Every structure is written in structure tokens, then in C-alpha cells.
Amino acid sequence: DKVAQMYSAIQTGAGHGMKSVSVETSISHTKQCLVGDVITAKAIEKSISNKIAIYEITITNQKDETVALFKGTVYRTSKDWL
């Protein structure tokens, strides 16, 4: 499902190459998605430090209507993905 894909993307991308694990996530569904809708997620890195990063993601449909708002906080480990 799309939420799981988004969650996974945050965990893998949030660390800038470092393994990261979720500390907190929340999502608000603001409009129903329908079969055939094309959704796009745009992420903004709100804060990043050596150990914690915070992201806000806006999910829109093909009409540029917001269908969901997602916030994720991750703990950045010292381990590289590669």
C-alpha cells in the first residue's frame, strides 16, 4: 500500500545514507483517493541533526488536491546502508 511505501522511503532516505529507524509517524487523510487516481508525495526535511531527522510529506492527487499529510521522525544510526 502507498502509506507503507512512503514509510519505507522515509526510513531509507532520511539518514542521508545512514540507516534510520522510525521514532514517530502520523498521517491525516484529508480527501478520499479513488481507483485510478495518481498520487504524488512531496517531502520537506524540516530538521536534521546527528541523531534525529523530521520530515513533512504532502500527498496530492492528479488535480493537485491534498489527499493526505504525513509527518515522520527518525532516529539516524551510525551505520551506513552500503
Q: Output the pLDDT for position 39.
A: 94
Number of Cβ within a 10 Å radius of residue 72: 24
pTM for the model: 0.74
CA distances from 53 to 14, 18, 27, 30, 39 (A): 7, 11, 17, 25, 24
Write down the pLDDT at residue 72: 92
pLDDT given at position 16: 72
Q: pLDDT tens per residue, the chain (82 residues)?
A: 655 665 555 555 555 777 888 899 999 999 999 999 999 999 999 999 989 999 999 999 999 999 999 999 999 888 887 6
> What local confidence, expressed as pLDDT, does residue 78 receive?
84
- pLDDT for 9 equals 58
